[in-house]
Chain A
Amino acid sequence: MRALFSFIVVIALVAIVFVGVKGANLEFLFGVIIPYAALATFIIGFIYRVVKWGRSPVPFHIPTTCGQQKTLPWIKDSKIENPSTTAGVIARMALEVLVFRSLFRNLKTDLREGPRLAYGSDKWLWLAGLAFHWSFLIIAFRHLRFFMQDVPVVVQWVEGLDSFLQIGAPLLYITDVIIITAVTYLFLRRVYIPQVRYISLAADYFPLFLILGIAISGVLMRYFIKVHVVGVKELAMGLVSFNPTIPEGIGVIFYIHLFLICVLFAYFPFSKLMHMGGVFLSPTRNLANNSRMVRHVNPWNYPVKVHTYEEYEEEFREKMKMAGLPVEKE
């Protein structure tokens, strides 16, 4: 149901561009106005969300410690999994962001006869997640060629590496294959693993379909339905130089590709995709476990009502004296 809803929305989006461009000649809308609007929404929205998070303080020092703490000098502490220094935290965050350290721990719990619980390593989600995010990043990077007059060498290197298999013409990018496979896997596991299906919302399927739509339209454009590449570059250059033009005859598939990307950008700040920014702010990961060494201050710490020793002694003075305990007031 929720998957279907998201699927229909993505199809509808495609239909909108198709009709808009083919039927109503709205190239300027889809090629210029919407991209600008989407990018603006993305930037403003992203900043707004991060600032909003940043404005809520971190009242307590709550890292999740995943290794030995730093204590006595002869006990080896776990410098990254339970960092006590800023360098350790940076390393921990780097592992988290670049190679998804925590997801790598994933286990699958199995209840067997007995009862006997077994925990098998389960790295598929990690692998698919990593494959997806990295290929997305590389693909985005490759696209820089459209936004610069002279394509920088790094971009050319990446392109070269990405197509090192030397299959087909134009050369097949490995990341294109990987991203489609990974997203498909991520979708299938959502549908086939009953627990994951149970928790999934439309907001979980929608980005998957959207990205799949982007990838497929991109692939179609590159390998099958040829578009006017020079025109595409012209349009892109126009956008970045704030001198937008709409070259003739680019082909509707390009507008579909572009529009889906725009939707992704505009949708981003309102969605769970914000985990991209959020992960950096996560207080269980980005704090050093040094709360007994360095005092953590809570900006809204306020005085509270306590039961003082005087009140306590007042209540128990006689009993305390009988038991031979020292008291403040005789």
Chain B
Amino acid sequence: MAKGTPKPDELSRIDYTPPQKEWMDTPVKLKPGMYCWGAKAKNLQAVGFPNARDWTPADEDWKLPENWEWTVLEGIYDRLKKYRSFQLFLDICVRCGACADKCHFYIGSGDPKNMPVLRAELLRSVYRRHFTFGGKLLGRIAGARKLTLDVLKEWWYYFFQCTECRRCSVFCPYGIDQAEITMMGRELLNLLGLNIDWIQGPVANCYKKGNHLGLEPHTIMSNIEFMLDDIESITGIRIEPSFNRKGAEILFVTPSGDLFADPGTYTCMGYLMLFHELGLDYTWSTYASEGGNFGFFTTNEMAKRLNAKIYAEAKRLGVKWILGGECGHMWRVVHQYMDTWNGPADFLEEPVSPITGTKFENAKTTKMVHIAEFTADLIRHGKLNLDPSRNDHLKVTFHDSCNTSRGMGIFEEPRYIIKNVCNNFYEMPENTIREKTFCCGSGSGLNAGENMELRMRGGLPRANAVKYVHEKYGVNMLANICAIDRAALSTLMDYWVPGVGVTGVHELVANALVMKGEKKRTTNLRGEPLPGVEEEEEEGKEEKEEQGG
């Protein structure tokens, strides 16, 4: 935990009373722990972003280019013409407040500017002043204000306190999606080189090296090699996956986070074991080695530039279709943007499961299938030999990731899988799951270390629902299908609900998967003894002692 992060009991004293002063008269104060470091010059340069320079948000001087106001206003004008969502959402909000207490950042911080409606007003007020007749004429009384440096700083602070989770848009009577406005706000900020380095660093990495973490080709292979060693010592089976192999049937793409740190690596081992067991004709790619897309948190154009690699690589390798791993924003992008940006993928074929023959008609143009869809289909057809009792020490609940929930709607597939590989599954309260799910608090590139207070505040509603099932049913494992979740929720659980672990769904699958020719497993993928094994060992020892005595 970062230094200076308040303790849970201190942090949970939240005051929801708005200040006496009107919000336009409350200038932004950058509170340490609530924001991230500014994007470094070299990372901005790497992708040709404007105004590349080192800068510090806490400094008075943000080293803005001359005429920056003009750049921003022009940027707004441009986007109003390009995005109906932006134009419409700026125009039709009635400030009914239905979205207000739906945002996890508002719930966790009580800061009124974290109410989605007010977050939008931060930008809407400037739009009124500079782009509407009433706003120009009446000014303040029409809710209009000029674009000033203070306003710009406020945008930066609050557009990086929104995880683009879309929860607000579920509740808004007109579907106003603050995520859209945040995206536009961040695009505008990027015109001035005002990103955060936790996003810009991975973007630069991904552009040059193919993944957010900047893993070079041989490192990717050696990371996977480590996992293969572990798998061998647990199952006795040596797996030999292929990389950049031409002519494979399927290209597999997953977020690079799965290659790097646990518990993501266990999920990755899960994929490897599953594919091996199926004898799947697939390949990894070191060039398209990132499913996630931090470019999505900068500009639409950058997101497209990073995403282009997936189709390009599929084409180069001559695969038939693409299978995608467990990730949240990756799937928002794949599901709602990829084909539009970089399609049509007419060089690929409509995905068909080589094991079950199922046609994935839902992916017939994008040609990319979610691994939960793929695995659920396998289980349904009885293609996997599963022993759920190996997960009997776990009481599992499932966290719906924002992006796959509200930007796709994949609810049943992961649940179906979990229920087939675990015997103990409990849902969190209804208002905190599925389309009403709460964000991990660290999405959209906000999973840095320096903004830990923000993350713990934003994660409070999610954590609180986990705590509920933890106390009620003894839930000790939080499953999810997102790489950011695996990293972020671990920290969140340690902070709010110690004693609850975090896992990807395919880790659970692999633990339950009885592989052909495997030796008797004594531990799970984490190296912890399997349920029942400890007692057996104990008994074995006693027997020996008896025999000896």
A residues whose Cβ falls under 8 Å from a Cβ of B:
2, 5, 49, 52-62, 64-72, 74-78, 81-82, 84, 96, 100, 102-103, 105-109, 111, 114-117, 119, 125, 129, 193-204, 270-272, 274-275, 278-279, 281-285, 289, 291-298, 300-301, 304-309, 312-313, 315-316, 319-320, 322-326
Beyond A59-B300, A319-B216: 17 further Cβ-contacts under 8 Å? A53-B84, A66-B406, A67-B409, A69-B362, A70-B362, A72-B377, A76-B412, A84-B362, A107-B171, A125-B98, A284-B180, A285-B174, A289-B409, A291-B340, A306-B305, A309-B287, A313-B287
Tell me, rounded to whole Å, the shortest Cβ–Cβ distance linking B470 to chain A: 12
A316: nearest chain-B partner, CB-CB: B217
A66: nearest chain-B partner, CB-CB: B435
A60, B340: Cβ atoms closer than 8 Å: yes
A292, B94: Cβ atoms closer than 8 Å: no
A274, B92: Cβ atoms closer than 8 Å: yes
A291, B218: Cβ atoms closer than 8 Å: no
A306, B173: Cβ atoms closer than 8 Å: no
- Of B15-23, B254-262, B264-272, which binds chain A? B15-23
A65, B407: Cβ atoms closer than 8 Å: yes
B340, A96: Cβ atoms closer than 8 Å: no
- In the complex, per-residue mask of B197-240: 1 if CB is within 8 Å of any chain A CB, else 0: 00000000001111000001110011000000000000000000
A57, B170: Cβ atoms closer than 8 Å: no
A194, B18: Cβ atoms closer than 8 Å: yes
A72, B358: Cβ atoms closer than 8 Å: yes
A52, B87: Cβ atoms closer than 8 Å: yes
A65, B405: Cβ atoms closer than 8 Å: yes
Q: Nearest 3 pairs between A and B by C-beta?
A: A69-B409, A65-B409, A278-B92
Tell me, rounded to whole Å, the shortest Cβ–Cβ distance linking B368 to chain A: 7
- Of B100-108, B188-196, B419-427, B477-485, which binds chain A? B100-108
A-B contact pairs, 8 of them (CB 8 A): A56-B84, A56-B88, A59-B300, A109-B107, A111-B107, A117-B460, A204-B94, A326-B245
Tell me, rounded to whole Å, the shortest Cβ–Cβ distance linking A23 to chain B: 28
A75, B366: Cβ atoms closer than 8 Å: no
A198 to B25, CA, bound (A): 12
The answer, among A66, A199, A304, A322, for a CB contact under 8 Å with B301, is A304
B206: nearest chain-A partner, CB-CB: A307
Total count of chain B residues near the partner, CB < 8 A: 117
The interface residues of chain B lying within 8 Å CB-to-CB of A201 are: 95, 142-143
A56, B304: Cβ atoms closer than 8 Å: no
The answer, among A68, A291, A305, A324, for a CB contact under 8 Å with B339, is A291
Decide if B39 is an interface residue (CB 8 Å cutoff).
no
The interface residues of chain B lying within 8 Å CB-to-CB of A196 are: 95-97, 100
B413, A102: Cβ atoms closer than 8 Å: no
The interface residues of chain B lying within 8 Å CB-to-CB of A305 are: 48, 305
Tell me, rounded to whole Å, the shortest Cβ–Cβ distance linking A54 to chain B: 8
Tell me, rounded to whole Å, the shortest Cβ–Cβ distance linking B3 to chain A: 23
The interface residues of chain A lying within 8 Å CB-to-CB of B245 are: 326
The interface residues of chain B lying within 8 Å CB-to-CB of A54 are: 84
A320, B48: Cβ atoms closer than 8 Å: no
- Residues 401 to 441 of chain B near chain A (Cβ within 8 Å): 405-413, 416, 429, 431-432, 434-436
A117: nearest chain-B partner, CB-CB: B464
- Residues 437 to 488 of chain B near chain A (Cβ within 8 Å): 460-461, 464-465, 468
B133, A64: Cβ atoms closer than 8 Å: no
B285: nearest chain-A partner, CB-CB: A309
A77 to B94, CA, bound (A): 32
**Given A64-B166, A203-B143, A306-B309, A281:B366 Cβ within 8 A:** no
Decide if B172 is an interface residue (CB 8 Å cutoff).
yes
- In the complex, per-residue mask of B39-62: 1 if CB is within 8 Å of any chain A CB, else 0: 000000000100000000000000
Decide if B5 is an interface residue (CB 8 Å cutoff).
no
The interface residues of chain A lying within 8 Å CB-to-CB of B141 are: 2, 5, 202
A53 to B14, CA, bound (A): 40
Decide if B30 is an interface residue (CB 8 Å cutoff).
no
A324: nearest chain-B partner, CB-CB: B221
The interface residues of chain B lying within 8 Å CB-to-CB of A111 are: 12, 14, 16, 107
The interface residues of chain B lying within 8 Å CB-to-CB of A325 are: 217-218, 221, 243-244, 286
The interface residues of chain B lying within 8 Å CB-to-CB of A278 are: 88, 91-92, 174
Tell me, rounded to whole Å, the shortest Cβ–Cβ distance linking A78 to chain B: 7
Tell me, rounded to whole Å, the shortest Cβ–Cβ distance linking A37 to chain B: 17
The interface residues of chain B lying within 8 Å CB-to-CB of A197 are: 18
Q: Is the interface of A mostly helix, strand, loop or mixed?
A: loop
- In the complex, per-residue mask of B315-340: 1 if CB is within 8 Å of any chain A CB, else 0: 01000000000000000001111011
A307 to B306, CA, bound (A): 8
A71, B373: Cβ atoms closer than 8 Å: yes
A305 to B100, CA, bound (A): 39
A109 to B309, CA, bound (A): 43
A198 to B85, CA, bound (A): 25
A318 to B143, CA, bound (A): 60
The interface residues of chain B lying within 8 Å CB-to-CB of A324 are: 221
A174 to B221, CA, bound (A): 74
**Given A195-B18, A199-B97, A297-B340, A106:B364 Cβ within 8 A:** no
- In the complex, per-residue mask of B93-134: 1 if CB is within 8 Å of any chain A CB, else 0: 111111011100001000010010110010000000000011
B225: nearest chain-A partner, CB-CB: A323
B368, A292: Cβ atoms closer than 8 Å: yes
The interface residues of chain A lying within 8 Å CB-to-CB of B544 are: none
A159 to B362, CA, bound (A): 50
The interface residues of chain A lying within 8 Å CB-to-CB of B468 are: 116
B121, A199: Cβ atoms closer than 8 Å: yes
**Given A72-B377, A194-B17, A291-B336, A64:B98 Cβ within 8 A:** no
- Of B75-83, B501-509, B524-532, which binds chain A? B75-83
A273: nearest chain-B partner, CB-CB: B94
- Residues 158 to 172 of chain B near chain A (Cβ within 8 Å): 166, 169-172
B23: nearest chain-A partner, CB-CB: A198
B307: nearest chain-A partner, CB-CB: A306
B94, A272: Cβ atoms closer than 8 Å: yes
A60, B336: Cβ atoms closer than 8 Å: yes
Decide if B344 is an interface residue (CB 8 Å cutoff).
yes
The interface residues of chain B lying within 8 Å CB-to-CB of A300 are: 82
A293 to B358, CA, bound (A): 15
A289: nearest chain-B partner, CB-CB: B409
Tell me, rounded to whole Å, the shortest Cβ–Cβ distance linking B214 to chain A: 12
**Given A64-B177, A292-B368, A275:B94 Cβ within 8 A:** yes
The interface residues of chain B lying within 8 Å CB-to-CB of A106 are: 98, 171
The interface residues of chain B lying within 8 Å CB-to-CB of A109 are: 101-102, 107, 461
Decide if B376 is an interface residue (CB 8 Å cutoff).
yes
Tell me, rounded to whole Å, the shortest Cβ–Cβ distance linking B456 to chain A: 12
The answer, among A100, A105, A293, A306, for a CB contact under 8 Å with B363, is A293
A70 to B416, CA, bound (A): 15
The interface residues of chain A lying within 8 Å CB-to-CB of B341 are: 298, 301
**Given A129-B173, A278-B92, A304-B304, A107:B102 Cβ within 8 A:** yes
- Of residues B12, B81, B95, B304, which shows the largest number of chain A Cβ atoms within 10 Å of its Cβ? B95
A110: nearest chain-B partner, CB-CB: B101
**Given A111-B14, A199-B97, A326:B246 Cβ within 8 A:** yes
A193 to B95, CA, bound (A): 13
B217, A78: Cβ atoms closer than 8 Å: no
The interface residues of chain B lying within 8 Å CB-to-CB of A77 are: 409
The answer, among B121, B173, B316, for a CB contact under 8 Å with A102, is B173
B85, A291: Cβ atoms closer than 8 Å: no
Decide if B361 is an interface residue (CB 8 Å cutoff).
yes
B461, A69: Cβ atoms closer than 8 Å: no
